[in-house]
Amino acid sequence: QVQLQESGPGLVKPSQTLSLTCSVSGGSINSGTYSWNWIRQPAGKGLEWIGRVYASGSSNYNPSLKSRVTMSVDTSKNQLSLNLSSVTAADAAVYYCARDIGTAMGYWFDPWGQGTLVIVSS
């Protein structure tokens, strides 16, 4: 079955760019019409959708983060990436990657990666 694993620096300085990678195993990132999503969760708080990217490279972002977010895929490595620029303390969170699944009626997320904690501090 498909498994996801996030990786990247756990500590980012304010105003710098957060860069994370999600490695996909057990299946090809190219298969099907799935989108690959980034979702974050600040400590003690709820889930926030950051955006999604398709194997084709097309993407959609949360309007509240759109000006700072870039997502991409590397099909040769079976990976997707997240860049979030100009980070502040408000961007500190556990970051998850997740694949969507569903129909035109609606999509949900399965599976999820285990998540990676990002701290923003100088």
Partner 1 sequence: SYVLTQPPSVSVAPGQTARITCGGNNIGSKSVHWYLQRPGQAPAVVVYDDSDRPSGIPERFSGSNSGNTATLTISRVEAGDEADYYCQVWDSRSDHPVVFGGGTKLTVL
Nearer to partner 1, 12 or 98 (CB): 98
Q: Is 51 helix (H, G, I), strand (E, B) or coil?
A: strand
CB of 4 to partner 1, least distance (A): 9
Using CB under 8 A as the binding rule, whether residue 60 contacts partner 1 is answered as: yes
- Which one of residues 9, 14, 32, 102 is an interface residue with partner 1 (CB under 8 A)? 102
Name the residue among 15, 74, 19 with its Cα closest to residue 7.
19
Query: Which residues are within 8 A (CB) of 57 and not within 5 positions of it... i.e. 6 or more apart?
Result: 72, 73
> How many angstroms separate the Cα of 26 from the Cα of each of 16, 22, 73?
33, 13, 17
Using CB under 8 A as the binding rule, whether residue 54 contacts partner 1 is answered as: no
Using CB under 8 A as the binding rule, whether residue 37 contacts partner 1 is answered as: yes
Binding site for partner 1 (CB under 8 A): 37, 39, 46-49, 52, 60, 62-64, 96, 102-110, 112-115
